[in-house]
Structure 1
Amino acid sequence: MIKLLFLLVGIYSISINAQRDSPEYIEAAEYQASENEKFSTVETTILTKKDFKKFKALDFYPINLKCRVEAKFVRTPNEPPFKMTTTTDRLVDKIKYGKLHFEIDGKKLQLNLYQSVPPMEDPEYIDYLFLPFTDLSGGEGSYAGGRFLDARIPKGATMIIDFNKAYNPYCAYNSRYSCEIPPLENHLEVRIEAGVKDFGKH
């Protein structure tokens, strides 16, 4: 029994080390490091002066490649524009651009992708899509108002969703910002324990 236990521990350790050496893991780790650099730099931080003085690092869930999934992308043409609500009276013109179908731990899930109306003119963001979501970890580890993911218009019928890159809206850190509220249709009935956690709650 003891030998079996040591064998299982060894296999687990090898699996974890292999995951940490993978390009996907390294990419997520580099993203999180860049976020910390942005928050800890005077010129780029969005933190209040009070929070900036004591800031050390954002609190992320451990990188979990199970939360990096390949989704089926379905374009939704001819959708009417709508007003996306925000944390203030501001309304943002959006259009549903497409839908993503994927699975996590065998559970079938879906999320809508949104595009600004009109689309951004900056060449760097001309193919940018907005992916806001809420999940069952909201208010219990993650920010209750939901989190965001950045996306680009896919060239094919699939898209990678990496929840390890999920970030909080600016208003989670500073009340002077107005942030989009994820539509109810983008709520996931699972706990997404990946990406950034709620700020100042841990």
Structure 2
Amino acid sequence: MRLPSLPLRTAFSLALLLALPCAAAAGPREDYDAFRAGLTEQASGPTGMYAIQDVAVIAPGASAHLSAGADAAALRWSPGAGGANDVRVVFRDGRATLYAPDIKQPVDLLKAADQKKALPGGLSVRATPYENSVKAWLYNPALVKQRFKGLSFFPYDPKGVIDAKFARKNVPKAVSHLDSRNHTGTMYWIGDVELPLQGKTYTLRAFNKSNDWNKIDHLLLFFTDKTSKKTSYGGGRSLEAHFPAGQPPQTLSLNFNTLYSFLCAHSDYYNCPVNLTTYVPVELKFGEKYPPGR
């Protein structure tokens, strides 16, 4: 299975997008246990959801910088290249190049391990693709102790493992969406899932960030349901199903115990879709619940 990472593989750029591979699990219950552990680790890690201090969107040919001499907790991205003593990220020719006084050789963050680089003083910078730009993420691990109150999950329920039918679209259709930060993005409608729930069958659109079936190796479903705004995040939750690239099966086993909240449940810095969810008029008491303290 795969778990959401930071930002999610679809990151709603959807910021929905890098995946955290997990060790092969023996079954749905083991998937659920790995899902909880992996999501908690990603939330509470030094470059996790609760460590985000600031984010900048950098267009091609543009730059952002962190001013030299500022206290670590006060650092925020400013537009422009800044000065020679500033930490700078320049996005040009497909490279997100990091310059810093204490880093001898400039680093292309998009090719660095995990697309990130540690800075002196405990901070870290990561770059991820975002539409035609890049997002520069600034992480401060000291923030985790202040913010992170743990994650909550519904108990594992074998009824959450559901066989569904998938009908692929031979030509994925572009769907423009608005996100939670008032940006527009594009996802691709790659097919429909027929989902049997509590005696009824619901048809849901399945999405991917790519429109190339040679590369598509997973589908994404975006839900709201009768738990939304009550015991789960009101903005929506996501479910992933993975398969060999270009070979989606006609029957999918969906493990709703691995439903996870849109990342906006944890940080306002993410870009989450506001018009791609499907409302299902049942209680989906599976997966991640609304996070404590949010």
Q: Shorter-chain TM-score category?
A: 0.7 to 0.9
Partner of 1:110: helix, strand, or coil? strand
- How far is 1:165 from its partner? 0.6
Partners of 2:219 and 2:205 lie apart in 1 by 10
Q: Partner letter of residue 47 of structure 1? A: Y
- 2:83 aligned with 1:42, yes or no? no
Partner of 1:196: helix, strand, or coil? coil
- 2:291 aligned with 1:199, yes or no? yes
Aligned to 2:73: none
- How far is 1:92 from its partner? 1.6
Deviation string for 1:31-70 (max 9, x for gaps)?
A: 1111112222213x11156564353531000111111101
- How far is 1:100 from its partner? 0.9
**Cα contact 1:134–1:147 (8 A) shared by 2:** yes
Partner of 1:36: helix, strand, or coil? helix
Partners of 2:144 and 2:161 lie apart in 1 by 31
- 2:228 aligned with 1:138, yes or no? yes
Deviation string for 1:94-122 (max 9, x for gaps)?
A: 2211111121222222221012245599x
Aligned to 1:105: 198
Deviation string for 1:113-161 (max 9, x for gaps)?
A: 012245599xxx7423222111111001000000012223554211121
Partners of 1:120 and 1:101 lie apart in 2 by 20
TM-score calculated relative to the size of structure 1: 0.76
TM-score calculated relative to the size of structure 2: 0.54
Partners of 2:182 and 2:291 lie apart in 1 by 24
Larger radius of gyration: 2
- How far is 1:201 from its partner? 5.5
**Cα contact 2:173–2:190 (8 A) shared by 1:** no
Which of 19, 33, 36 lines up with 1:29 in the alignment?
A: 33
Aligned to 1:127: 217
- How far is 1:79 from its partner? 5.1
| Count of aligned pairs between the two proteins | 176
Q: Which of the two has greater helix per residue?
A: 1
- 1:62-141 → structure 2 map (5 Å cutoff): 62-78=155-171, 80-119=173-212, 126-141=216-231
**Cα contact 2:190–2:211 (8 A) shared by 1:** no
Partners of 2:201 and 2:259 lie apart in 1 by 19
Partners of 2:145 and 2:221 lie apart in 1 by 27
Aligned to 1:148: 238
Q: Which of the two has greater strand per residue?
A: 2
- Unaligned residue ranges in structure 2 (runs of 5+): 1-25, 52-141
Instruction: Point out the more displaced range, 25-34 or 152-161.
Output: 152-161
For CA contacts below 8 A with separation 6 or more, give which structure has more relative contact order.
1
Q: Partner letter of residue 34 of structure 2? A: E
CA gap 1:120/1:74 in 2 versus in 1, 3 angstroms = closer
Quote the sequence identity (%). Answer: 24
Q: Partner letter of residue 62 of structure 1? A: P
Partners of 2:213 and 2:235 lie apart in 1 by 25
**Cα contact 2:169–2:190 (8 A) shared by 1:** yes
- How far is 1:182 from its partner? 4.9
Q: Partner letter of residue 42 of structure 1? A: P
Aligned to 2:257: 164
Instruction: Point out the more displaced range, 78-87 or 94-103.
Output: 78-87
**Cα contact 1:81–1:117 (8 A) shared by 2:** no
Partners of 1:61 and 1:98 lie apart in 2 by 29
Which of 268, 271, 280 lines up with 1:188 in the alignment?
A: 280
